[in-house]
Amino acid sequence: MIVILESNIDKNGERYTSLMNRLSQLPNVQVRVHEEVGTQHVLTELYLIGNTSSLPLEEIQSLPGVEQVVRISGAYRVLGRHKNDHRSSHFEYNGVTFSQDTLNVFAGLCAVDTPEHVEAMMRALREHGLVCTRMGAYKPRTNPYSFQGHGKNCMPYVFELAGKYGIKVIAMEVTSEQHIHEINEALEQTGRPTGILLQIGTRNTQNFELLKAVGRQQEFPVLLKRGFGITLEESLNAAEYLASEGNRKVVFCLRGMKTNMGDPHRNLVDFAHVPVVKRLTRMPVCIDPSHSVGTRDRSSDGILDLLHVTAQGVIAGANMVLVDFHPAPDKALVDGPQALRLPELAYFLEDIQLARKAYEARTALVKRYETTA
């Protein structure tokens, strides 16, 4: 059961103390406090854990300081969408809003290679009005002899260039807790010119110690990729690990499943799960067409498979697109063959807008037919 308190409730005040006293008397029930500090409000939620099924909802609802009570109806306590659950499903980070209603495009380098490529990429983003990007510094590679990423050494120039070109959020993968500290240090050194969305890659979706470490910090929001060989439920539980540790600013990313049933694509595209994740949880949903498709093949209509699947995800309501671009794909150190080229950026964005408009038209249509559909 989740007990949502009046916003800005005084923790030392009479109402809060008497509420906590009352709750502490409930047999076999533990109370866990979660605080969400926003720019104007502090939202406090109490998670009642244990034997709560027999607790009378109305009684808890009438206690002092209580705004709303939600009975948990699924496995994902914090991130899940429960019956009569009116909690908001959006967060702001560094001026960018992430929600189940917005759409943010994160186009950028799979892996940072040279300052020149980073700058060319960011210049193109600014020219097209984009304020988000992806830049891999730590690359988890299948082969130990492959390029592993420039790590913390590239961060000062990546962050400074981001500041120069007005980039507000960079999706950057981390594979260990140490990387969070390195990112923080580099941001501090450069005067915090940009923000970071910590990415947990598909190989680490069930690295529970990493999930706990990333969940414990609340400085950075998180982009969690679906595990490539596990069920959707298992991946959503991984997201819940982050939230249960305190960080609920989580975006969930579909990136395809590893099976040769997806051939000739790199992975089997799973964007049919966009609405499923939005129904089961309150997380914004990202699609990664690059790692799903993995090639620049196009069909006889002239459209790249990569753009076809992007449109499929967006028309189904995706809230974020994570996509590989590169100024010189032949020189890319990782995933060059699947990268889109800078002159394709305008076309890519326009194609996304078409799909987004179609999605908006579809949501208007279902409302119009609500009584009959």
227 binds ligand PEP (CB under 6 A): no
Shortest reach from residue 345's CB to Mn ion, in Å:
18
Nearer to ligand PEP, 31 or 268 (CB): 268
Of 63-71, 162-170, 200-208, 304-312, which part binds ligand PEP (CB under 6 A)?
200-208
The β-bridge relationship of strands 132-134 and 340-341 is: unpaired
Residues in contact with ligand PEP, total (CB under 6 A)? 10
Closer by beta carbon to ligand PEP, 173 or else 351 = 173
Q: How far is the CB of 136 from ligand PEP (least distance, A)?
A: 5
Q: Of 82-90, 197-205, 208-216, 309-317, which part binds ligand PEP (CB under 6 A)?
A: 197-205
Determine contact, residues 108/124, Cβ cutoff 8 Å: no
**Are the C-beta atoms of 223 and 253 separated by less than 8 Å?**
yes
Answer with the entry of Mn ion, ligand PEP, none that 282 interacts with (C-beta below 5 to 8 A by kind): none
> Which one, 201 or 289, has the nearer CB to ligand PEP?
201
149 binds ligand PEP (CB under 6 A): no
Segment holding 356, helix H or strand E? helix 345-368
Three-class secondary structure assignment of 83-116 = CCCCCCCEEEECCEEEECCCCEEEEEECCCCCHH
Q: Which residues in 18-57 contact ligand PEP (CB under 6 A)? A: none
Token pair listed for 79: 């991130």
Helices (H), 110-257: 115-127, 155-164, 177-189, 208-216, 232-244
Q: Residue 349: CB partners within 8 Å, gap ≥ 6?
A: 105, 128, 130
In contact, 228 and 258? CB cutoff 8 Å: yes
Residue 202 interacts with ligand PEP (CB under 6 A): yes or no: yes
255 binds, among ligand PEP, Mn ion, none (CB under 5 to 8 A by kind): ligand PEP
124: tokens are 């193109």
Q: Residue with the closest Cβ to ligand PEP?
A: 201
User: Left, alpha or beta for 342 (phi > 0: left; psi -120 to 50: alpha)?
Assistant: alpha
Pick from ligand PEP, Mn ion, none: which does 125 bind, CB < 5 to 8 A by kind? none
Residue 38: count of CB within 10 angstroms of its CB: 12
Write down the least CB distance from residue 203 to ligand PEP, Å.
6
- Of 281-300, binders to ligand PEP (CB under 6 A) are 288, 291
- Applying CB under 6 A, which residues contact ligand PEP? 110, 136, 173, 201-203, 225, 255, 288, 291
